[in-house]
Amino acid sequence: MLSIPIEYYLILSAFMFIVGVTGVLIRRNAIVVFMCIELMLNAANLSLVAFSSYHGNPVGQIFVFFVMTVAAAEATVGLAIIIAIFRNKLTVNVDEINIFKW
């Protein structure tokens, strides 16, 4: 079986992570920001799984399960918050959600 070198996984993971970070920083729609966070998490997951396979160590894969669990819980709470905010302010634009300001 042709094995794909580890660098490929890592480059893809880094690319996904950068896309995520950029999205979090520049997008104003809260849902998109949220999706970008998921993207960052999955980028991390990808590198974890890649290293796990590369070293033949299952710990990385187990850890990924935990991350996915937490990500699912986070998605639930996060989306609930976004809906609650939307009901209040009729917008999900993060620039307009600045009530903690001085």
CB-nearer residue toward other proteins: 28 or 89: 28
Measured between alpha carbons, how far is 13 from 102 in angstroms, rounded to an integer? 38
Which of 10, 21, 49, 71 forms a contact with other proteins (CB under 8 A)?
21
- Outline where 1-102 has alpha helix (H): 6-26, 30-55, 59-89
Which of 24, 32, 82, 85 forms a contact with other proteins (CB under 8 A)?
24
90: left (phi over 0), alpha (psi -120 to 50) or beta: left
Which of 11, 26, 83, 84 forms a contact with other proteins (CB under 8 A)?
26
CB-nearer residue toward other proteins: 10 or 97: 97
* Residue 99 binds other proteins (CB under 8 A): yes
